[in-house]
Amino acid sequence: MACPPRRHRHAPADRGRRDQGSRTTVLSPFDPVVWDRDRLLGMFGMDYKIEVYTPEHKRKFGYFTLPILHGTRMVGRLDPKAHRKDGVLEIRRLHLEPGVKVTNKLVTGLSTARCTTSHSGMARRR
């Protein structure tokens, strides 16, 4: 799936009116919100662990799972795989946290986040 070209999301005049709590963001395991695991658990109720060093057969969510922040709530995690030679970013797994309901707003947010989560040179997503 090809994503639309990147554009500026908001003109400077629109920034003050923007609903800050409606954005969906895919976070790095090294993002300040995520790296303090105890704080992440306390603030968002997400028990997160990067599974890079976990044997494949013991992984629960994936090799390099990325937390998903939707508005003010951690709603899930995805396991991406970059196929750099082909210019493709594959989403291997998507896991929603317990109690998260799939809504149109969440689907739109995930689609937008998927398109803006660009690894260098990844023009297509699947």
Residue 2 forms part of a structural domain = no
Range of the domain at 80: 20-125
Q: How many domains does the chain have?
A: 1
Residue 27 forms part of a structural domain = yes
Residue 4 forms part of a structural domain = no
Residue 40 forms part of a structural domain = yes
DSSP 33-93: HHHSHHHHHHHH-------TTS-GGG-SS-TT-EEEEETTEEEEEEEEEEETTTTEEEEEE
Residue 108 forms part of a structural domain = yes
Residue 13 forms part of a structural domain = no
Question: Is residue 111's pLDDT more than 90?
Answer: no
**Beta-carbon contacts of residue 4 (< 8 Å; ≥ 6 apart):** 115
Tens-digit pLDDT profile for residues 8-18 = 444 454 455 45
Residue 12 forms part of a structural domain = no
Residue 6 forms part of a structural domain = no
- pLDDT attached to residue 119: 47
Tens-digit pLDDT profile for residues 34-93 = 999 999 999 999 999 999 999 999 999 999 999 999 999 999 999 998 888 888 888 899
